[in-house]
Amino acid sequence: MHNFLKQDIQFLPGVGPVRGDILRKEIGIHTFEDLLYYFPYRYVDKSKFYKVNETHPDLPYIQIRGTIRNYTTIGGGRKKRLVAAFGDDSGTIELIWFKGTKWIPENFPPGKEVVVFGKPSVYNRKINLVHPEIEDPAKVKKVSSSLQAVYSTTEKMKDNYLPSKAISKLQSNLIHILPSAFSETLPSWLLKKLKLVTLDTALKQIHFPDSVNDQKRAELRLKFEELFYIQLNILQKRTIRKTEYSGNKFPHVGEHLNAFYREKLPFELTDAQKRVMKEIRADLGSGKQMNRLLQGDVGSGKTLVALMSMLIALDNKFQACLMAPTEILAKQHYASINKFLDGLNINVELLTGSTKNADRQRIHTTLSDNSLHILIGTHALLEDVVQFDNLGLVIIDEQHRFGVAQRAKLWKKSKVLPHILVMTATPIPRTLSMTLYGDLDISVIDELPPGRKPIITKHFFDNQRLRVFGFIREEIRKGRQVYIVYPLIRESEKMDYKDLEDGLESIARAFPPPEYAISVVHGRMKPEEKEIAMNHFVAGRTHIMVATTVIEVGVDVPNATTMVIESAERFGLSQLHQLRGRVGRGADQSYCILMSGYKLSEEGRRRLETMVSTNDGFEIAEVDLKLRGPGNLEGTQQSGVPFNLRIAHLGKDQQILTLARDVAEKILEEDPGLQLEKNHIFARHIRKGSPNAVNWGDIS
């Protein structure tokens, strides 16, 4: 069976070289096994026939048996469409096609009885079916199941006659030629205990369920297995790391930390910061390598915790480094850490792509003779030429922006594995952190420093813009500054969203010079142009910064009190929360204004309502996870995850994930090496290199 499933997809009956190439490029299906594990995202009911007079736009996909009365072609060019009058004994309805306008009348002439299947919609006050499937009733098989699978496809696939229906046909072809039943991947004792169906039953019923109940049982089995092996793998790696990897011991808290605490600490630490420092100190003194994730909302004081951890490394004669994903953020860390340490005789340097050669040489020399204590930088820290004398602590900010291989390079710069502290300002819900960071110990700073006022967030529609402009003028009159953020640089044909170029014109008219000065920053500008514009705003020489999301991280202007986000419905919740975090950094009351059009999807409306109702990053992250999956870490569905989730959804399958983790923990408690005979199947599955087996624990 293994060799059979590893065959190239083009050799499956019904595929061939052309379709094989499209399946590979469009949805990553290379082998028979890939196709089998390409699961439906929903199911439609084809057991019932509707009458024309029963159709209304709120119905899901429906099928109707009737006759095509006539065809007409309307419009020209890209708007050309084929319209058919279709009816039964209860009335008529329009069928509309923009593609396939030639072959449909040839194959289904007027007067011929047909079965159509599609989603009712309304156009010009008439109910119609757009691009319905159309078939000869004689060829419509009697459906034994009430459910038929629907698969995700792309425009290119549809253009090449590979819609969902074609994928379903290929699944059927594959299942009919399987040489044997699927080998089980979970032991019989576990299947019995959890009342799970076999893998063979699950894989067949997920594509062609005999009933709703059978489909649910197949889905539960496959989701459990996927999440269980991820958890088993992560937890086993964690066990190995905690028992086998030693780390440098930092037993002393000495003059560096004490002097900072006595003389330089600008305010009392919050209880959350104190708790987190206690957890970090315990790790650093344990003799085991620290591998800890530090979560905290924007402005919660993570940098201060990171700095105090670095000072403990210095007190124990070790060097420390902090790696940030962008030059702007690295510079911001460098400036704030230098400010904290002013007068303490601690050598801190900045290394980025734009560091001059002479400065690089000095940094390399002082690193290797241990006279450089703290190095802050970007990817430039990973270069082979950067060699530390005694690296003891590595801090990574926003780690999801670095690849696994990139981070691994840092660990090799030390004789003994350095302690790792990973920081993120993207609050991560518990279910996601259990999976993404299940091998890391997690610390959370869940309170803001005293004196910070909560940001007031309001949602306005586009027709209320003059009112918003009036509010901006009022804030500028008080001596404050304002961000206005756009999702796009210039107008997009595909998306009806506000763009920066168009918006800049209306802002310049509403806020004319010399009374008002405007900075502009976007991704297509040269780095030095961006730098100049940012510096003008930071220095207070400009009142308004018009920008795209390049300011999502790395601009800290306490005097900026208002953030206006145009086409706010275009952004994910996590991104909206990050943008909002650019204001509220000073003592003045700050505001976030979300602008949107009237046409909002249900999800868009929910996102904006969530932003208005709460400032709690963890609450926002929970909603985002439920809406979009864990992809919010990088902005695309389920990406940013170090494994391929084929059927489970971390936002919707929290109960299954918790069950999978509990089962994995109990198994490893009893048998950490998976050496008992009843657990051999687990060890074999992990060794085989399951798609979910990622060596994540060694490299945070």
- Name which CATH class applies to 456-614: alpha beta
| Range with lowest mean pLDDT among 53-62, 170-179, 498-507 | 498-507
In the prediction, which pLDDT does 675 show?
A: 92
Q: How confident is the model at residue 69 (pLDDT cuts 50, 70, 90)?
A: very high
Q: How confident is the model at residue 619 (pLDDT cuts 50, 70, 90)?
A: confident
In the prediction, which pLDDT does 56 show?
A: 85
Q: Is the pLDDT of residue 634 over 80?
A: no
Mean pLDDT of 438-445: 81
In the prediction, which pLDDT does 630 show?
A: 56
Domain boundaries, the chain: 48-142, 181-244+654-693, 255-445, 456-614
Mean pLDDT of 21-45: 93
Q: How confident is the model at residue 689 (pLDDT cuts 50, 70, 90)?
A: low
> Which residue, 243, 229, 178, 245, is CA-closest to 207?
178
Q: What is the mean pLDDT of the chain?
A: 85
Look at 511 and 265; give whichever has higher pLDDT: 511
Rounded Cα–Cα distance for residues 232 and 693 (Å): 9
Q: Is the pLDDT of residue 696 over 70?
A: no
For helices 680-687 and 212-244, what crossing angle results, to 10°? 80
Rounded Cα–Cα distance for residues 425 and 301 (Å): 10
Residue 518 CB burial class (10 angstroms; 0-12, 13-18, ≥19): buried
Mean pLDDT of 444-450: 81
Q: Is the pLDDT of residue 366 over 70?
A: yes
Q: How confident is the model at residue 636 (pLDDT cuts 50, 70, 90)?
A: very low
Give the largest Cα separation in the chain, rounded: 93
Q: Which CATH number fits domain 48-142: 3.40.50.720, 2.40.50.140, 1.20.1440.230, 2.60.40.10?
A: 2.40.50.140
Rounded Cα–Cα distance for residues 534 and 519 (Å): 7
The full length of the chain comes to 700
Look at 412 and 330; give whichever has higher pLDDT: 330
**Cβ distance 73 to 82 under 8 Å?**
yes
In the prediction, which pLDDT does 288 show?
A: 86
Q: Is the pLDDT of residue 686 over 60?
A: yes
**Cβ distance 633 to 640 under 8 Å?**
yes
Q: pLDDT tens digits, residue range 278-310?
A: 999 999 998 888 888 898 877 788 889 999 999
Q: Is the pLDDT of residue 677 over 50?
A: yes
In the prediction, which pLDDT does 487 show?
A: 80
Answering whether pTM is above 0.85, one says no
Handedness of CA 137, 141, 142, 143 (dihedral sign): negative
Q: pLDDT tens digits, residue range 316-339?
A: 999 999 999 888 788 889 988 999
Mean pLDDT of 515-541: 87
- In this chain, the answer to whether the domains covering 48-142 and 255-445 adopt an identical fold is no
| Range with lowest mean pLDDT among 308-312, 313-317, 367-371 | 367-371
Instruction: Count Cβ atoms below 10 Å from residue 184 Cβ, excluding itself.
Output: 12
Q: Is the pLDDT of residue 569 over 80?
A: yes
Q: Is the pLDDT of residue 141 over 60?
A: no
Q: pLDDT tens digits, residue range 112-134?
A: 899 998 889 887 778 899 889 88
Residue 488 CB burial class (10 angstroms; 0-12, 13-18, ≥19): buried
**Cβ distance 533 to 521 under 8 Å?**
yes
DSSP one-letter string for 481-498: EEEEE-SBSS--SS----
Range ranked top by mean pLDDT from 8-17, 132-141, 264-273? 8-17
Rounded Cα–Cα distance for residues 439 and 421 (Å): 13
Please give the CATH topology (third level) of the domain spanning 255-445. Answer: Rossmann fold (3.40.50)
Mean pLDDT of 589-594: 96
Q: Is the pLDDT of residue 58 over 80?
A: no
Element (H, E) at 113: strand 113-118
Range ranked top by mean pLDDT from 102-106, 117-121, 666-670? 666-670
In the prediction, which pLDDT does 441 show?
A: 83
Q: pLDDT tens digits, residue range 644-660?
A: 688 988 777 888 988 99
Q: Is the pLDDT of residue 144 over 50?
A: no
Torsion region of 611: left, alpha or beta (phi above 0 gives left; psi -120 to 50 gives alpha): alpha
Percent of the chain with pLDDT over 70: 90
In the prediction, which pLDDT does 551 show?
A: 65
In the prediction, which pLDDT does 688 show?
A: 74
Which residues, 6 or more positions from 289, have their beta carbon under 8 angstroms from its beta carbon? 241, 245, 246, 247, 417, 418, 419, 420
Q: Is the pLDDT of residue 575 over 90?
A: no
Mean pLDDT of 487-512: 70
Q: How confident is the model at residue 408 (pLDDT cuts 50, 70, 90)?
A: low
Instruction: Count Cβ atoms below 10 Å from residue 174 Cβ, excluding itself.
Output: 21
Q: Is the pLDDT of residue 438 over 60?
A: yes
